[in-house]
A and B are shown apart, each in its own frame.
Chain A
Amino acid sequence: MTPATVWAVVLVASVLCFALKLAGHLLPEHWLADERVSRTAALVTAALLAALVAVQTVATGQTLVVDARLPALAVAALALALRAPFLVVVVLAAATAAGLRLLGWG
């Protein structure tokens, strides 16, 4: 993307996200109180995040690659299971991948 395109993406997506927030406050409550709507929204959020985890871990462009990111993600999962704070989880994952690459793998 060119810098101008990135700016356009940043601004359009920001306006969209703000509009969604505002809609929640302004729309009649019953529109969004429907249980099906909230359940589906929760599923969509989880699905997007899970897909982003997968793509960030094993995709390099359109190629699937197993490299230092996979063990790093396992370390992150372990840290999360042990209730580590978000920042610690992220730093541990980065350190794992960086360490493995320093040792010449991935």
Chain B
Amino acid sequence: MPDDDPGTAPDEAAEVEQTVEELVEAEERGAVRQAVSVSVATGLYGISFGALATVAGLDLAQTAALSLLMFSGGSQFALVGVVGSGGTAAAAIATAGLLGVRNALYGAQLGPLLALRTWQNVLGAQLTIDESAAVATAQRTRRAARVGFWLTGAGVFVLWNLMTVVGAAAGDALGDPRRWGLDAAAAAAFLGLLWPRLATRPVQLVAAGAVVVAIGLTPVAPAGVPVLAAAAVAVLAGAIDARRRGPVPPTGPRAAPGVAAPAQEEDR
């Protein structure tokens, strides 16, 4: 940007502009740093996904296809878990799909922030995951949010897919998964995905209820069903919670755009 911007109070105006410029650049550098560290950390655990997928009985191509096409850690771990425990095809698809619902909500949050063109929507949609949404929405300017979204999405995508293949090759070579504790690793992976979501009391209660329902149904229901039944508990709890909070103001078309995302409205 020009350092010699002609104005009525040149020195002061230039100084202010330079300060603003520096802040904007610092914000973008911050987004880049976050994107890189999140990409590396997330990419690395692609190894555990690859290993667990092959151990669950998927071949290398199927495992790689999941990371390329599904590209959503929770759904991928869940699909592999249901397949590995002998669940039905329908249960595997339903569990993965239900865990993917939150990505739709991220997309709705990110849409106004990113202002994508038609073709960019397809690419942007595929890169919409926990990590890219978290980095993008944590930024204070739109430019930094865009940098954060694309860099995190692309970084995680590349590393996640590479590490999936590494993990799948390792999983193939390991033999009996129980000997290496890989069955316990799968449980720990789900706990790691759950942990940061347990911040509030309602979520903790629903999680506890889900555990009770899943364990209670395991001896009597086909594999995969106990997990889906736990999701029903959450829907029920959500309905009760909404009723307890009383009627919600009307949310007709355009009734209150951006009410759910005030932080982003400020940046426009």
The interface of chain A, by Cβ under 8 A from chain B, is 1, 3, 5-18, 20-59, 61-64, 68-69, 72-73, 76-77, 80, 85-87, 89-99, 101
Contact = CB atoms under 8 A, between A and B. Distances in A.
B99 A45 contact: yes
Contact of A46 (B72, B181, B197): B197
B56 to A, nearest CB: 9
16 contacts: A20-B100, A22-B125, A33-B108, A34-B248, A40-B235, A40-B238, A51-B229, A52-B214, A53-B191, A62-B219, A80-B192, A85-B41, A87-B45, A93-B184, A93-B188, A98-B181
Contact of B187 (A21, A37, A44, A56): A56
Contact of A25 (B78, B89, B116): B116
Interface in B65-92: 65-66, 69-72, 74-75, 77-79, 81, 83, 85-86, 89, 92
In the A-B complex, the 9 residue pairs with the smallest Cβ-Cβ separation, listed nearest first, are A24-B107, A97-B181, A40-B238, A93-B188, A51-B230, A72-B184, A97-B184, A47-B234, A24-B104
B207 A46 contact: yes
Contact of B261 (A33, A43, A62): A33
A50 B59 CA distance: 27
Contact of A21 (B103, B184, B223, B233): B103
Interface stretch (B2-10, B26-34, B136-144, B250-258): B250-258
Contacts of B108: 24-25, 27, 29, 31-33
Interface string B230-267: 11011101110110000010010111111111000000
Contacts of B208: 50
B23 interface: no
Interface residues of B, number: 113
Nearest to B121: A25
A83 to B, nearest CB: 10
A91 B97 contact: no
Contacts of A16: 93, 96-97, 100
